[in-house]
């Protein structure tokens, strides 16, 4: 998930006073690809930059574009390089679009009787504080709308970013470092969906250290009131595995007409991003990519 830009990741890597063990960069699709600065104009450009810094790790740079070729707007991008097998770890990344109008309205700043709504109220009213109640939350609101938070509890960390505007409403959620056996996969996803009510969403679960410790997180997700239209499983170097699923609300869901209208109009003409494929996850293949390629990475398994 794109929480830090690649330039910032590279700055942090150079600031570290210890050997780098592994790096993972992941994201979904850009809603406005033409508005992205370098090196985020394409995944091939991102991989090129990442490999310059991390391709020397023992596994080499491994890049994948995961998803169903029939659904070009629903793809997951991941770059991974490691020096050695990682410690057991489970990470959940969720991308949600078409947010419920009423739920999205919580993330617009309002003013009444001299009181201006704030991030802490958004955290409470949206239900974000109930996703993992033990988390200590540091939240922030934007003008005139938008929300971001980071949270921590022991070794577990999570983050949320919300763009609530109509036409491109979006929310992302990530959590990692938690005790996978103590938190049920389906329960966490249900709590997140309750906060945003998206018309579509995807989940990407990355597991290191084997499925044995991942409990419910290593299984296919069933989401009430949503139909799963894509399941892909991708092996990663040194025993890692990524499980990606995408969902759309079924007819039983009464989704609002849309989020509140945007106050910005500069990106209305942008279209959904379409990336060329990363073949075999190696930098050597970058020059051989063709823009018309639109199939799964060869190592991925499309599940029925």
Residue among 179, 177, 162 at smallest CA distance from 94? 162
What's the Cα-to-Cα distance from 255 to each of 119, 199, 203, rounded to whole Å? Answer: 25, 7, 20
pLDDT at 111: 85
Domains of the chain in sequence order: 1-84 (no CATH), 85-255 (3.60.90.10)
Q: Which residue has the tokens 């639109």?
A: 294
Write out the two tokens for 221.
Answer: 């997700």
Residue among 171, 234, 182, 240 at smallest CA distance from 210? 240
pLDDT at 292: 31
Q: Is 231 left (phi over 0), alpha (psi -120 to 50) or beta?
A: beta
For residues 205 and 78, is the Cβ–Cβ distance under 8 A?
Answer: no
CA 25 to chain CA centroid, Å, is 10
Q: How do the pLDDT tens digits run along the chain, 304 residues long? A: 444 566 665 666 566 566 788 999 999 988 888 899 999 899 999 999 999 989 999 999 999 999 877 777 789 999 999 999 999 999 999 999 999 999 999 999 998 877 889 999 999 999 999 999 999 999 999 999 999 999 999 999 999 999 999 988 999 999 999 999 999 999 999 999 999 999 999 999 999 999 988 999 999 999 999 999 999 999 999 999 999 999 999 976 544 445 555 444 433 444 333 333 343 333 333 333 333 333 334 444 444 4
Largest CA distance in the chain: 62
What's the Cα-to-Cα distance from 21 to each of 52, 57, 158, rounded to whole Å? Answer: 16, 8, 21
Instruction: Tell me the whole-structure pTM to 2 decimals.
Output: 0.80
Write out the two tokens for 191.
Answer: 């709590």
Paired residues of 301 in beta bridges:
233
Own/partner pairs for 273-279, CB < 8 Å, 24+ apart? 273/29, 273/30, 273/31, 273/33, 274/72, 275/42, 275/43, 275/44, 275/65, 275/75, 275/77, 276/42, 276/43, 276/44, 277/65, 278/43, 278/44, 278/47, 278/63, 278/64, 278/65
Radius of gyration of the chain measured on its C-alpha atoms: 19
Sign of the dihedral through C-alpha 174, 158, 1, 103: positive
Please give the angle made by the CA atoms of 260, 262 and 268, to the nearest 5 degrees.
130
With 0-12 / 13-18 / 19 or more C-beta atoms within 10 angstroms meaning exposed / middle / buried, residue 248 is: middle
């Amino acid at each position: 998930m794109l929480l830090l830009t690649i330039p910032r990741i590279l700055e942090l890597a150079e600031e570290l006073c210890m050997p780098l063990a592994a790096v993972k960069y992941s994201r979904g699709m850009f809603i406005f690809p033409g508005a992205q600065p370098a090196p985020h104009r394409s995944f091939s450009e991102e991989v090129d930059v990442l490999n310059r810094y991390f391709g020397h790790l023992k596994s080499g740079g491994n890049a994948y574009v995961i998803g169903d070729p029939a659904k070009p707007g629903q793809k997951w991008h991941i770059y991974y390089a490691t020096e050695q097998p990682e410690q057991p770890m489970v990470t959940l990344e969720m991308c949600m679009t078409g947010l419920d109008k009423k739920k999205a309205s919580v993330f617009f700043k309002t003013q009444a009787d001299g009181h201006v709504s704030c991030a802490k109220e958004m955290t409470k009213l949206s239900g974000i504080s109930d996703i993992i109640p033990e988390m200590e939350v540091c939240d922030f609101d934007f003008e005139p709308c938008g929300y971001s938070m980071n949270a921590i509890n022991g070794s577990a960390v999570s983050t949320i970013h919300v763009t609530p505007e109509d036409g491109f409403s979006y929310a992302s959620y990530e959590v990692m470092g938690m005790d996978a056996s103590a938190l049920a996969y389906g329960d966490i996803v249900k709590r997140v969906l309750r906060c945003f009510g998206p018309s579509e969403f995807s989940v990407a679960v990355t597991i290191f250290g084997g499925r044995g410790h991942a409990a419910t997180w290593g299984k296919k997700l069933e989401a009430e009131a949503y139909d799963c239209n894509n399941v892909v499983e991708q092996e990663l170097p040194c025993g890692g595995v990524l499980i990606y699923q995408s969902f759309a609300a079924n007819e039983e869901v009464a989704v609002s007409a849309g989020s509140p209208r945007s106050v910005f109009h500069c990106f209305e003409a942008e279209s959904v991003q379409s990336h060329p494929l990363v073949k075999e996850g190696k930098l050597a293949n970058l020059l051989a990519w063709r823009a018309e390629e639109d199939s799964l990475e060869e190592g991925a398994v499309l599940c029925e």
